[in-house]
């Protein structure tokens, strides 16, 4: 079977870490978990070390400081690539990405390059969001799709599965977005590399513990960057032919 690592970036997620690790282990028992902690002052990193000591499927990558979600993921991709994982999963620590839906994303990944958990396609939905959060997210995706000529619907979503081959072909050295815009930047790289990208419907659930790192200012800053990309021609100006689906690995 292909090897999979679920990457969980954390910053002050001590309350959520145990539950999310338990849910991942129950949903995909054969997958490894990499907690990437940005020196959380609440002790999340130390707690992650305790889980790693008691469970060989859990490993921890400690970073010296908090300098953006994108930087955490890129370092984790390097870590996973050096260890030969076939599939790399992005998963939020706060429970908004439901691990119980991961098997369907991994199943889709067997015949494509990138799988995106999507809130904004038929079957996808969001729970416990006020109307303005919905409009902000949907509006940000629509604006980015239009300006960058992207065919996908949920371009800002972070619940994703990448094949190792896809990440190599995406030339991540030119991904320079560290915050909210990182997900858009990664999708743009995937589309421009001619990769096959599939959206799978998910239910996104608002966190119940801890505080969100998201704000309107962060979103509008990202949209400013998207505007610059669109005006300077960085968007997916033309669609490369999608490569044939990769063969399903032998069981």
Dump pLDDT digits (tens) for 142-187: 888 888 999 999 999 999 999 999 999 998 988 878 777 899 999 9
Dump pLDDT digits (tens) for 72-127: 999 999 999 999 999 999 999 999 999 999 999 999 999 999 999 999 999 999 99
Three-state DSSP class for residue 160: strand
Residue 220 lies in a domain: yes
Nearest in space to 9 (alpha carbons), one of 57, 51, 60: 60
Nearest in space to 191 (alpha carbons), one of 224, 231, 149, 225: 149
Residue 241 lies in a domain: no
The number of folded domains in the chain is: 1
CATH assignment of the domain containing 176 = 3.90.550.10
> Average pLDDT over the chain, rounded to whole?
87
Residue 27 lies in a domain: yes
Nearest in space to 158 (alpha carbons), one of 183, 186, 130: 183
Has residue 237 got a pLDDT over 70? Answer: no
Residue 238 lies in a domain: no
Distances (CA, A) of 197 to 37, 73, 117, 191: 28, 19, 11, 7
Residue-number span of the structural domain to which 87 is assigned: 4-231
Q: Quick one: pLDDT at residue 29?
A: 97
Q: What is the pTM of this model?
A: 0.87
Residue 246 lies in a domain: no
Residue 111 lies in a domain: yes
Dump pLDDT digits (tens) for 10-69: 999 999 999 999 999 999 999 999 999 999 999 999 999 999 999 999 999 999 988 889
Average pLDDT over residues 200-207: 91
User: Counting Cβ atoms within 10 Å, is residue 151 exposed (0-12), middle (13-18) or buried (19+)?
Assistant: exposed
Residue 151 lies in a domain: yes
For 99, the token pair is 């691990």
Q: Quick one: pLDDT at residue 220?
A: 65
Residue 240 lies in a domain: no
């Amino acid at each position: 079977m292909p090897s999979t690592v679920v990457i969980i970036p954390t910053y002050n997620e001590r309350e959520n870490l145990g539950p999310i690790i338990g849910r991942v282990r129950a949903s995909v028992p054969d997958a490894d978990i990499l907690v990437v902690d940005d020196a959380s002052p609440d002790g999340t990193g130390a707690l992650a070390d305790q889980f790693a000591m008691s469970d060989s499927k859990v490993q921890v990558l400690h970073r010296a400081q908090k300098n953006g979600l994108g930087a955490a993921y890129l370092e984790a991709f390097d870590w996973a690539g050096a260890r030969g994982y076939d599939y790399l999963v992005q998963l939020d620590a706060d429970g908004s990405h439901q691990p119980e839906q991961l098997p369907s994303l991994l199943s889709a990944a067997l015949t494509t390059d990138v799988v995106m958990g999507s809130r904004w396609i038929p079957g996808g939905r969001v729970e416990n969001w006020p109307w303005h959060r919905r409009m902000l997210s949907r509006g940000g995706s629509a604006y980015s799709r239009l300006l960058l000529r992207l065919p996908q619907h949920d371009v800002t979503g972070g619940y994703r599965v990448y094949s190792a081959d896809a990440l190599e072909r995406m030339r991540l050295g030119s991904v320079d977005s560290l915050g909210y815009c990182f997900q858009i930047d990664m999708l743009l790289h995937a589309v421009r590399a001619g990769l096959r990208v599939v959206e799978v419907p998910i239910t996104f659930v608002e966190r119940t513990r801890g505080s969100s790192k998201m704000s309107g200012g962060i979103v509008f800053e990202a949209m400013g960057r998207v505007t610059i990309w669109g005006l300077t021609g960085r968007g997916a100006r033309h669609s490369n032919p999608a490569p044939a689906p990769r063969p399903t690995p032998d069981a």
